[in-house]
Amino acid sequence: MILLVGATGFLGSAVVERFASRNPVALARPTSDTSVLPPEIEIRQGNLAQPLPLDSIDTLVYCASMGFGHVPALITQLEQSNVKRALFVSTTAIFTTLPSTSRQIRRAAEDAVTNSTLEWSILRPTMIYGTERDRNISRLLRFLKRWPVFPLCGNALWQPIHVDDLADAVVASLDSPHTTGRIYNVAGGEPLRFADLIRTAARALQRRVLLVPVPVSAAVLAAQLTRVVTTEQIRRLAEDKAFPYTDAARDFGFNPRAFAQGVRLEARRLGLVSER
């Protein structure tokens, strides 16, 4: 039986739908919004800060953050249980060269997985988008719907992944015989410069946008003064975030959609353009 950790999250709720026919168990906290889960799914209460309820579980799919420090203790528990197969969703943010508070914790979490006796696989996605639950492109689309001008801070490469492509990748990589003991970067169809990403999002809304370049140093100063965003977030804007996914394509047929297609779908889903 499969236990889905993070099933109520943005990615997890897309993943749980895809496993629905296999009678999975969803982990939920007392505070979790379980209305996002399919009604027929078995729910077990639990918290990553404590040992998980693993009765009859042989497979774990982990869609919660690996950056909170719970993974090493979880691996110890899994190794003493009947769980054999485990798939973890990490992040390409692990590659940042900037000072990051969570990077060490995420690295230690990946190390605990890769040094374990489990049949493990790790997926590292880029920024995930695709529904009103994302915390990035939905905000960008709503901004562009209201304003014809956008401050362009840096012009780095981006390669966001659509949540449905990532959820499909979770299932395909779990089922593939080639993925055990391997780590895969997974990203959107192609990298694009930040300016192109903004213009593509505006086109999805049938809008034009004027990009006004803002030096990264000025944006960092504004972040320090206003505290609306962190300086780490601003500096990350200027860092390239493009990742080839040839290993994932070879081993489990990963074939993500282009951003232009994904952002058009999201604009329609958010009701920002009429259905045609």
Q: Which residue is nearest to ligand NAP (CB)?
A: 9
Smallest gap from Cβ 88 to ligand NAP, in A, equals 8
3-state secondary structure of 127: coil
Closest approach of ligand NAP to the CB of residue 176, in Å: 19
Q: Please state the closest distance from residue 210 (CB atom) to ligand NAP, in A.
A: 27
19 Ramachandran zone, left/alpha/beta (phi>0; psi -120 to 50): alpha
Nearer of residues 64 and 223 to ligand NAP, judged by Cβ: 64
Dist. CA 5–CA 28, nearest whole Å = 8
Nearer to ligand NAP by Cβ, of 6 and 256: the residue is 6
Binding site for ligand NAP (CB under 6 A): 6-12, 27, 29, 31-33, 47-49, 63-66, 89, 91, 125, 127-128
| Residue placing its CB nearer to ligand NAP in the complex, 122 or 153 | 122
Please identify, using beta-carbon distances, which residue of 2 and 63 lies nearer to ligand NAP.
63
In whole angstroms, how close is the CB of 52 to ligand NAP at the nearest point? 8
CB-based contact 209:202 (threshold 8 Å): yes
Minimum separation from the CB atom of position 29 to ligand NAP (A): 4
Q: In the bound complex, what is the minimum distance in angstroms from residue 127's beta carbon to ligand NAP?
A: 4
- In the bound state with ligand NAP, the residue whose beta carbon lies nearer, of 17 and 222, is 17
Distance CA 105, CA 69 (A): 6
Q: Which of 39, 6, 42, 36 is nearest to 24 (CA)?
A: 42
Distance of CA 142 to the CA centre of its chain: 20
Instruction: Answer yes or no: are the C-beta atoms of 24 and 4 closer than 8 Å.
Output: yes
CA distance 50 to 73: 9
- The answer to whether 61 touches 68, Cβ cutoff 8 Å, is no
| Closer Cβ to ligand NAP, 82 or 136, answer by number | 136
Q: Tokens 């007392």 appear where?
A: 30
